[in-house]
Amino acid sequence: MDYNRLFRRAATLVWEHKFLIVLGILAAFSSGTGSNNGSRNGLGGDNGSFQNGDQLPEGLPGIPGIPQDAPFVAELQEFAAAVPAGVALLVCLALLAVVVLYIVGTIARGGLIAGVDALEKGEKTSLGQAWSAGRRRGWTLIGIGILPAIPALTGLLLGLAGMAASGGLAYLGRIASFPSVGLSGFFGVLMCILLPISLVLGLLRTFANRAAMLEGMGVLAAYGRGFSVLVENLGSALVIFIIQVVISLLLGLLLLLPGIVVALCCVLWPLFFIFQGFMAAFFSAVWTLAWRQWTDALPVNKIQ
């Protein structure tokens, strides 16, 4: 694979067809949105300790758990009552905005793939046609994007469950008991298994998107196809990835000071979005051209 021609061809496509930059700006939303997972431990405190760990506190329900009169339960109720309804509404609106931006960005990713593929076939295409192509495969693309988050979310929930189980046993004075250690270890092992799976699926998403858009595959089939293409072309894919990282780092260093100026001057913010859109479209085009070559849809001598 001629990497120089590959990257030059991608840059030429994006520069000559400005609608790809528009799609790149929209696609940047899906990579910029996400969920911040945080947790606060309000459990544990001087009021929750017992001198004798073998005795259960009075008022404990039939199923071992947290006492109904635990101090932190009343504190949580007071906190919930103090939160204004407007704050909850703003949170809901923010979550809705994140979801909408993610959907728009995901469809734009598909549009970028379809647009570059059509241009390489010599077909006439436009912003509307590329967007429509991405929209037609929208649900599949969304499924491809959500799939890596499922193991990560499951691992997070298991980790929180392990913390809760250990906290509950600690509250009962049984922190050093076998059930506490066993539960913590079990949830920890599952979390260590699921998080790498999520990471691998996230890396395969680039290939799965192209299998879905260019070969019409479903979510699971697209990941399977993407995995097979990656394995067969692991060396060249790794080189492309390294080149992408190097370009990103060099641009980050060169544009550090100009970026600060742009961030401080809101009038220049459109330049930032245009640059982000160009880079998103450029790297998307690189991977689409590489995919076409790997799958023999585009002979090497046609990459100019």
Q: Is residue 272 part of a domain?
A: yes
Residue 136: pLDDT above 90? Answer: yes
Q: What distance in Å separates the CA atoms of residue 176 and residue 190, rounded to the nearest whole number?
A: 21
Q: Is the pTM of this model over 0.95?
A: no
Nearest to 117 by CA among 144, 48, 109, 91: 109
Q: Is residue 217 part of a domain?
A: yes
- C-alpha distances out from residue 108 to 56, 69, 253, Å: 58, 52, 28
| DSSP code per residue over 71-133 | HHHHHHHHHHHHS-HHHHHHHHHHHHHHHHHHHHHHHHHHHHHHHHHHHHTT----HHHHHHH
Name which of 68-72, 103-107, 249-253 the model is least confident about: 68-72
Tell me how many domains the chain contains: 1
pLDDT of residue 187: 64
Q: Is residue 32 part of a domain?
A: no
Residue 115 Cα to chain centre, angstroms: 23
Domain holding 178, by residue range, is 3-24+68-302
pLDDT of residue 31: 66
230 contacts: CB under 8 Å, gap ≥ 6? 204, 207, 237
Q: Which two tokens stand for residue 270?
A: 């459109």
Q: What distance in Å separates the CA atoms of residue 127 and residue 30, rounded to the nearest whole number?
A: 18
Q: What distance in Å separates the CA atoms of residue 274 and residue 252, rounded to the nearest whole number?
A: 15
| DSSP code per residue over 270-287 | HHHHHHHHHHHHHHHHHH
Q: Are 303 and 286 in contact (CB under 8 A)?
A: no
CB-CB neighbours of 225 under 10 Å: 20
Q: Which two tokens stand for residue 281?
A: 């479209």
Phi-psi category of residue 296: left, alpha or beta, with phi > 0 → left and psi -120 to 50 → alpha: left
Q: Is residue 45 part of a domain?
A: no
Residue 59: pLDDT above 50? Answer: no
Average pLDDT of span 233-243:
92
Average pLDDT of span 218-226:
92
Q: Is residue 35 part of a domain?
A: no
Residue 75: pLDDT above 90? Answer: no
Helix (H) or strand (E) segment spanning residue 184: helix 178-215
Q: Is residue 229 part of a domain?
A: yes
Q: What distance in Å separates the CA atoms of residue 195 and residue 199, rounded to the nearest whole number?
A: 6
Q: Is residue 52 part of a domain?
A: no
Average pLDDT of span 244-257:
88
Helix (H) or strand (E) segment spanning residue 197: helix 178-215
Average pLDDT of span 222-250:
92
Q: Is residue 41 part of a domain?
A: no
- C-alpha distances out from residue 2 to 52, 240, 294, Å: 73, 11, 12
